[in-house]
Structure 1
């Protein structure tokens, strides 16, 4: 039994083309996807986003090719219908249970360095009056370690509780001794 043809191409070759195109698009997305999303202002938080579209194309190609070559008891039209439905269900499940939770966790763990102004930390490496040391600040999602210098030009030994007063353009914290 010969498979279905669309525009002179066998359905198997179309599925194979979609699979290869999906893989190529996946690699392109890995390398330039963030740039494209930023330029086009695509949030990627809905059902339709670049990851799900590329995944859907890849699933249709891969699943269609496998079913077309292995499922001899089904016609090409039924395989196409089953393929479209199963691929849609799978990509929606992947989107809701994997992609969206990962994107949300990325957003919740990111912070702006300016958010650390006014926070209390601890001197990890002694800060001399006219030099640099290191400060560690505990956050909900881990700790932040940054270079620091004394705001008041006084020695701040290791273990001293400090308050972040300012942050300069290079990201160096200007800290002052914190009194509980």
Structure 2
């Protein structure tokens, strides 16, 4: 059994529901993701973010063995607010990735989603959990620090969009 298969299908937090992406999320996905402030700090999301990108992401989400993606949705309205997930590798620890639509920033939703997902993973023995973040992305660094991540390495990004910019490798410590 793959580690991705051991994770729960849904994870409920106080205000959020983390669940699998579905085609009905495509419009909200484009609305929330098609914003340079949201996409610029990510490693791979295209800009502009178009309907075909959303549909491709949703279709691939169920079939990527090395990846597990969840929609960050409101627990009351089930509307997409962002995406969170893990990347699994053969030769290094699992990595966390996430983004949240700009209209949802500053409400404590990102730390809540991160905590929900990493605690579910840790309960299954999935450790350590790491995350890469641009050193200049102060808000995301704070989210990770609030949720128990510490800097374990300072390096430079090799991702084309951020090539040469300072990058932090962080790991969850309890």
- Give the TM-score, by structure 2 length: 0.21
The structure whose residues are more often helix, as a share, is 1
- Give the TM-score, by structure 1 length: 0.21
Using CA pairs below 8 Å that are at least 6 residues apart, which structure has the higher relative contact order?
2
